[in-house]
Structure 1
């Protein structure tokens, strides 16, 4: 939405930063929760549970270190790149390298790649070119991701997620809005940012679907219901989320109706 309407301003900067941090914490908490859930389901020993938690922390730290290390090496040979095609191949190569090593070392693929991007852009702002070139292929990749999500969707479970979906939507929406206001008070940001930040955080897609797919594979008995709930609520959030984000951006003045009409 931000890219579509070319939004710019303090609210937009804070929104993008919060989204990035939100995704990172989501992956970290999910990794820990997944490990604890496995320990509780398949084992009863308290000692084993603590071992699993410790092992999960090692995996998370290892993923962050792997992504950061590869990010430090990625720009070294970029000076030999001459065309956009070469840059695209170069960037995809490092993403696949990070993914392959994470799988080989039994680390979180999502966290490793997220930290690859985080460290890469913070080392040098000129490294933004690595991300800009991915815009050439991001649309078909997003479509492919949602197609794969649809393939794993169990239609028969949709009728049973009514109350579960309502509870999920209620608590997620409440958490986003109340958390934004509360966090805004703590860091003393402007009132209009506190008021509308929660609306900007409502869209739900990639990270939630990815985590749900992992849960589906690791917990066959309940994973189908988890995944179906996330897919169904994602459809709802993707219908209302962009509208809420656009409304928030307009209210804080980062986009205008006139600007939108020109686009």
Structure 2
């Protein structure tokens, strides 16, 4: 849609059909790869082989999501973000040992996250903030997103009858913004000068949210009674420990 608006060639095909096809086909490709991924993991039993298969499938999925072609004059493309998110969703919901495997992968993915954030941060051009309108847009985006997260989550939690603590603090825990937003920022750079402005505003907002978001999330979880000052463990760790006890008792 943004590409069509920037180019000045707005038509039904480029504004409605192609974006819808991209979303639907991306979800379908991710679901297919997730199902095949889960099925193939059952043939391997060692930790090293399962990790190797996991990395291979992720790289293969990313490669497939980068394909673009024309069908009857319609441009067909995929969103790598949606494809990979659907891959993980399907895998974690239908694979019996997904929690255990993901816990192992988490041990060595930290350097990849660091590299991703460093490369993304290197794209931030502070010179664009010399223009007052860019700063204004960035501040409005940060404030409106924060308000939307807080009041939207509070309204939804109250509507479904959640505990008062969840109603009050859920929105605060949704403030952190990182991976998906950075991916969107990198994609927007293909839109030309306008895309570069969008990317820089997004990167700046990620910087702000990641400076204050984790701290506010921790405070909100403490206030809501979901975690404690000492002995707090991750949900994934609790699940793995539960399955371990089930197998050994």
Taking structure 1 as the reference length, the TM-score comes to 0.78
How do 1:1-263 and structure 2 match up within 5 A? 36-45=1-10, 48-105=11-68, 106-160=77-131, 161-218=134-191, 220-259=192-231
> Conserved in 2, the CA contact under 8 Å of 1:87 and 1:133?
no
Cα distance between partner residues in 2 of 1:74 and 1:104: 20
> Conserved in 1, the CA contact under 8 Å of 2:4 and 2:14?
no
Q: CA RMSD in A?
A: 1.8
CA 1:53 to 1:148, structure 2 compared with 1: closer, same or farther past 3 Å? same
More helix by share: 1
State the Cα distance separating 1:238 from its structure 2 match.
0.9
Cα distance between partner residues in 1 of 2:155 and 2:97: 34
Give the secondary structure class of the aligned counterpart of 1:203.
coil
The answer for unaligned runs of 5 or more in structure 2 is: 69-76, 233-249
State the Cα distance separating 1:109 from its structure 2 match.
0.9
The answer for unaligned runs of 5 or more in structure 1 is: 1-35
CA 1:236 to 1:155, structure 2 compared with 1: closer, same or farther past 3 Å? same
Name segments (4+ residues, structure 1) moved above 4 Å: none
Cα distance between partner residues in 2 of 1:241 and 1:114: 22
Q: How many residues align?
A: 222
CA 1:119 to 1:107, structure 2 compared with 1: closer, same or farther past 3 Å? same
State the Cα distance separating 1:111 from its structure 2 match.
0.5
